[in-house]
Each structure stands twice: as structure tokens, then as C-alpha cells.
Structure 1
């Protein structure tokens, strides 16, 4: 198989290109989930929150279209499985929300900051990666697997093949799977769009409007890349597989676990069992896309820690983000955009717990 026809190469390089655009847009538009929540809590300003909701709505519609047209199979994602580890999602999401608040931004925001010259964010991401890896395979992982993950809800016991809202609607109403998917997607996305577009100031903000749409489309494109372009027969084993993804199934953007896998790859580069993947390439793409925009706009600035106290706080937040992101199966992008685009109930649960953790931390800081 030549490099040009190798599905792994298409997935890796395609993920890099998509994430490059994601990083550039996130930098230019100041896209930041923690910042959006902070704007609402501290200033009652909903501009960045509306941009995030707009990206969600676009991602939901686009992902539903791909699934109902048979271009991808969302039932294979890690988000839609019938087993719902609700305690892990609540605890992991809440701790991630606390961590991103005291660290001044989520993992995606820190990737963007690295591209803009933040050495502080380099250190934060290293500790996120270490904590995430410990939660995947190390000491934190033993705690997660022993105490949190076993507390789960098995929806298959109630006749549900997965945990998505469309599957629940289909079960309750008896309508077809495609009809249930479009009904649910329409209700959620139209509700989001009505909230987003009712604000005149936001409608007049072309940067945030366009950025929200494009970010949502990039999530959809990532699903298509890993779930369609990267789905095929492995010439070595003759099995149908998803190429170049860490989860061995289709993926869209998520940045906590990929930082851990990226650090592992760098440390064990000569280990031929470790390969570059979509997740690692997408994390690199966000950094370089942000850097390209920062350099072109004259905004690249070297930045370090303000004080030892700042260092201590940032590192504590990084550890919480690494543990929380893996435990909750995703971050503000991994669950808040990619997971939500599948309409998985667990993704909405994680999104709520991340928001609650962030809001509680902000209110505590304010007091």
C-alpha cells in the first residue's frame, strides 16, 4: 500500500489540517469554553457562549446528516455505548471544570496559547499529559477503574442499544431510527439556534458567527475523516477497522488523552508499536494553526509564569484536567462539541458537570 493510498496517512494528515484551521480560528475568535463561562458568570456577557452553542448546533446537524446517510456509524463511538458510567462522568466533568478554571483555560485553550508563545501553557500541558496517562494506565487509573467506572447504568437492560437521545426517542415513540435522529437533532439544534440568534449584538458580530459555524463544521469533517475515509479493510489482517485512532473507532476532536499519547510517543519514539494517530496529529495541528495566526497578526509573545503561586495553581489545575478529562471521556471539546454532536446523553451530563464545576470555582474565587 503506497503512502498516497494509505488510509492512516489520510486520517493523520487530514486531522492535522482540520485542527490547523481549528487552532487558527480559535485564536482569532478567542474561542474558549472557560472564558465563555467566565464572561457569563462575571459580566453577564453571552457572546462567546453563543459562539460555542452555535458550533454545537452546526456539529449536531452535520453529524446527524452523516449518520443518517450511512457515511459514518455513530453507534461505534465511545460516546454512544449503552453503558453509562455516570459517576465517572459527574466526578470527572466536575474536576475538569474546576481544573480548567484555576488553570485559566481548558486543554484546547492551552494548545492555542502554546501556539501564541505561552511557555506557561507548555508546562501545563505536560502535567495534563502526565495526569491523563496516570488516569489511563497508572495509579489514577486504578482508582478510576476500581471506584468510579463500576458505578454505571446499563441501558441495554431497558432495550436500548445505546445512550443517545435519538435511540431513546425511537424506543419511546416507535418511530424509525432516522426519523428519531432527525426529530431529536431538530429540537436540540433549533433550540440552540433560537437562543444564539435572538441576540442582535451577536448577529452583528461576523467573526463570532462565522467562527461558530466553521468550528462546528470542522467537528463534522473530523467524524467523516475517521469514520468514512479511515474506515476499511486492514490489508494485513483482512479485518474492517478504523485506521490511526487511539480508540480504534471513529473519533472527532478531543485533546486530553491525545496529549498523553503524544507525550508517550515522544518519550518512547523508538518503540515501533507506538504510532502517530489522528488525536496526536490534531493536537499538533491546533498548536501550529494558532501559531500561524499569531505570527501573521503580530500577536506572538513569549509568556511565562507570573509567580511561584501562579505556577502552583496552574499545575494543580493541570492535574485535575488530566484526571477529569480521561475519567469523563472527554473535555470541553471532546464532550462539549464532539460528544454532544452524537446526541449522547452522557455527553450532556459531562457538559453540565464541567459547567457546574467551573461556575462553582468562579463563584468561590469571587468570594
Structure 2
């Protein structure tokens, strides 16, 4: 059978429907925005835009949400989502730590100071995750997939980052110390080994929790679950096994580092979007210290199409929209409208997410995923504090009439 025949057979399988309007809209958006980026910037920025769109599809089809993975472990005592995250961190550490310390000029890791700002910010972020319904990447890909509640979370997420940027200099004056790259203490190989051991210990704890509650471990979602419909249909319409998402997310972060000189990040773009909106409303953001620092000042002055995190976020939104259209689930997501306490949870959660992300130097992607991939001590502290905040958020969810 020829490749085209295989393609036709896959598309004609019973039960497969595609939302043609959403797919066409997403493709048009990708083409239009990709063209504008090409005209305004360099080809590598177009490549980052494409990577962002692929990452958005992987996050959606793989249902790779940090928030739900943590909650499932705490509430349902199921650890498949957490194990997938740990596998992702380990694989990326193996790939990216050697890249960062290969001696190649222009590569900068996701390293940050350790102190009051980090601890408070990551705890607040973890709390906001469970109330807002997603982390940085989770908020973006669910908004792209048409979730109305998450649009509210995103708006207040952006507002929270702006407020956090105004207060950040004060927080940085509180007790703390300079960034600690683990490579400086253990060397490249030693840092990787130490991190893999740490991830292994967490995985052992996760497995113990699950076995104690259920007597067994969920394994299907980490392998090839969902292929009763065939590889092609699973690839296009989901639900992906975690393994596929892990490979694409790890590769995407490594490519982002190679092309942009820095690992994948998300929430700094929210900062830029919010600050630009404030300036449109007549607020001079340069009166605040954060926006006089070199990189924020440059990002505020330049077009968003020249800002790598913004470009990748735009791609992620459209990629998730395309994925939802191919899975015919965009309209399903758009029917979920927050009311009453759920709306309040989105507002409060969004503000906490944004404020915490700025104080904690990023979200689950920029601070945790990219931080561990950079062998930075701050990422491990962020992990512990954000998980602790998430525990509080899980306990508060029922009051906001959010299901656990």
C-alpha cells in the first residue's frame, strides 16, 4: 500500500471528525503571523514560531498539564503524570546541560538567585496553579484550545506579572544569594548524575504513594496507549501517549536553546504584553526600576515579533488551536464558562500565577523545566515550594466549586 493510500485509510476511519473551520482559522493564523515574523525579523525567529506551534500541539494532544499531574498524585494517588514530568526533566538534563557547558558562545542557561523572592514566588505560583486551573504552558494551550475559563485566568495572569515586575526589585533586596549552577560544584557529568538521582528519588516516592493506594502503577499512558486507532490517527487527533509528548517537549527546548541562545520560557512574554498594554493606556512603565534593566527595557521598546518568548507563545496558542480543531474538541472546550466562585478562582488564581511567576523567575517551564535542564539549584527549590503551594491550592479548590 502506498503512503497516500495509508493516509486516506487513516482519515476515513469511522468516528473521526475534524472541525474544519477551527483548523482553517488556525492554519491561516499560523501562515499570516509566520509571514509577518519573516518580514520583520530573521529566519531563526520563524523557526522558533514553528517550534512553539509544535510544542502547543504536543501539550494539547499529550494532555501534558503540570497542574493536573500534581493534583492527580495528591487526590487520586495516581502518578503517571508526575512520572512523565520527571522523565522529561531527566531527558532534557542529559541533552541540555552538555550543550550549555560545551564552550559554545552565546548560550545562557535558566539560572536564578536563591532567596526570599524565589521561595515566596514559587509557593504563590503553586497555589495559583490549582485555583487558576493551569501553569504557564497549561494556561496557554487551554486558551488556544478554546477554554473560556482559562481566558479569564490568562488576563489576570498577565496583570499579575506586571504587578510583580513593579515589586520585584524590593523582593530581590530581601535575604538571598547569587545563582548556584550545580556544574560549578559537581562538573557536567556530576551535575547530571546528581539531578538524575534526585529525580529517581522523587519517582520512587511517587511510586510508593501509588502502590500503597492502589497496589499497582499506571503504565499505559507512558507507553503507547491509544493506538487502537493506529499511529497516524492518534498523532493527528490524540490522545498521545506521554512518551511522544516527552520526546517532542525535550527536543523543542533543546532546539530553542540552540536557536535563541536561551532555554524555553513563557511568562516573561506575559510581562511584556501587560507592560505594553499599560503604556497604551498612558502609563510610563520606565518609571519602574524593573523596566529600566537592559533586557526588559529592550523588550518593552521593540516589537513583540522580535521577542523570542512572545513569538513562541503565539505559536503555542495557534498550535493548540490547530490540535483542538483536528481532534474536533474546540467547541467542547468553549462551552466551559466560569460562573460565581469559579470565576473568582480564575481571577485570584491568575493574579497569583502572574505575581508568583515574576518573583519566582518563571513558571513550570521557565523556572522548573528549563531550570533543571540548566542544572540550576533554584529550580529544585522552586519545585519544592511550588508543590507545597499546590497542596494548599488543592485544599481550597472545593470552596471555589472546582472539582478535584
TM-score past 0.5 threshold: yes
Deviation at 1:264, TM superposition (A): 4.0
Gaps of 5+ in 2: 1-35, 208-216, 226-240, 281-298, 400-404
Q: Tell me if the contact between 1:265 and 1:274 (Cα under 8 Å) persists in the aligned partners.
A: no
Q: Which residue of 1 aligns with 2:246?
A: 212
Which TM-score applies when normalising by structure 2?
Answer: 0.71
C-alpha change, 1:295 and 1:92, in structure 2 (3 Å) is same
Q: Within 1, Cα distance between the matches of 2:379 and 2:372?
A: 5
| Distance (Å, rounded) in 2 between the aligned partners of 1:288 and 1:72 | 32
How many Å apart are 1:73 and its aligned residue? 5.5
Report if aligned partners of 2:98, 2:188 keep a CA contact under 8 Å in 1: no
Corresponding residue for 1:329?
A: 361
Deviations 1:334-366 (A, max 9, x none): 111111111111111112111110012213546
TM-score (norm 1): 0.77
Alignment partner of 1:181 out of 188, 211, 215: 188
Counterpart check, 1:305 vs 2:333: no
Contact 1:58 1:189 in 2 (8 A): no
Counterpart among 221, 239, 261 of residue 255 in structure 2: 221
Q: Partner of 1:125 in structure 2? A: 154
Runs of 4+ in structure 1 deviating by more than 6 angstroms, as ranges, are 3-7
Q: 1:355 to 1:284 in 2, by over 3 A?
A: same
1:22 aligns with 2:22: no
Give the Å deviation of 1:318: 0.4
> How far does residue 321 in structure 1 lie from its aligned partner after superposition?
0.6
Residue aligned with 1:111, SS? helix
**Corresponding position: 1:255 with 2:266:** yes
> Deviation at 1:222?
0.9
User: Does 1:44 pair with 2:77?
Assistant: yes
The corresponding residue for 1:349 is 381
Within the candidate set 105, 111, 118, 1:80 is matched to: 111
TM-fit CA distance, 1:290: 0.4
Q: Alpha-carbon deviation of 1:124?
A: 1.7
Give the C-alpha shift of residue 26 in structure 1: 0.5
**Bigger Rg, structure 1 or 2:** 2
Aligned partner of residue 70 in structure 1, secondary structure: coil
Number of residue pairs aligned between Structure 1 and Structure 2:
316
Does the 8 Å contact 1:11/1:278 carry over to 2? no
2:124 — aligned with what? 95
Task: Say if 1:34 and 1:105, in contact at 8 Å, map to a contact too.
Answer: yes
CA shift for structure 1 position 91? 0.3
- CA distance in structure 2 between the partners assigned to 1:103 and 1:300 by the alignment: 20
The equivalent of 1:54 in structure 2 is 87
Q: Distance in 2 between matches of 1:51 and 1:300?
A: 25
Q: RMSD in angstroms over aligned alpha carbons?
A: 3.0
Distance 1:343 1:259 in 2: 25
